[in-house]
Amino acid sequence: RAADPAQALALLLDGKISRPGVCNAIETLLVHADIAPRFLPAALTALAAHGVEVRGCARTRAHAHADTVRAASDDDYAAEFLDLILAVRVVDDLDAALAHIAQYGSDHTEVIATADAAAAERFVRGTRSAAVMVNASSRFNDGGELGLGA
């Protein structure tokens, strides 16, 4: 909810389109309901411009232009697409985001974009992933980026 929209969009695009076929690419985007009206239209337009197929919940589709977002299935939220496909869900709060991650996440990498330090700390402590990023691209969870080699 406290994310800088421009920063969140930059993290999303880097994490999804730079190399979509790798294990640290973003596969699911969760958007707080309070910022969805401001963030999703621009994000969905940018994703479409880069050829990303978006699969979203009904609340996500309400912010899309025409029929540019397909209906997401539960399987989509657990999928490792390794392609220019992204599942998107609007959530009411951090608890809902953490519950979604607990149910569908891969335990590989999670990212939160926020200016709220308490929310960031709660997110870091509330996920069980190998790497949890705050205001950083998922692409940083990589051997080369971490100084561990390729």
Kindly state whether residue 119 falls inside one of the protein's structural domains: yes
pLDDT at 140: 82
Question: Which two three-digit tokens encode residue 9?
Answer: 């969009």
146 pLDDT more than 70: no
Kindly state whether residue 149 falls inside one of the protein's structural domains: no
Kindly state whether residue 106 falls inside one of the protein's structural domains: yes
Assign 139 a pLDDT band (cuts: 50, 70, 90).
confident
**How far apart (Å, rounded) are the C-alpha atoms in residues 135 and 91?**
19
pLDDT at 149: 60
- The tens digit of pLDDT for each residue in 36-50 reads 999 999 999 999 999
pTM of the model: 0.93
102: CATH = 3.40.309.10
Kindly state whether residue 48 falls inside one of the protein's structural domains: yes
pLDDT at 1: 82
Segments forming the whole domain that contains residue 73: 5-137
144 pLDDT more than 90: no
Assign 23 a pLDDT band (cuts: 50, 70, 90).
confident
Kindly state whether residue 144 falls inside one of the protein's structural domains: no
pLDDT at 142: 65
Kindly state whether residue 145 falls inside one of the protein's structural domains: no
Kindly state whether residue 65 falls inside one of the protein's structural domains: yes
- The tens digit of pLDDT for each residue in 107-130 reads 989 999 999 999 999 999 999 998
Kindly state whether residue 146 falls inside one of the protein's structural domains: no
Assign 32 a pLDDT band (cuts: 50, 70, 90).
very high
- The tens digit of pLDDT for each residue in 80-100 reads 999 999 999 999 999 999 999
Counted domains in the chain: 1
Assign 71 a pLDDT band (cuts: 50, 70, 90).
very high
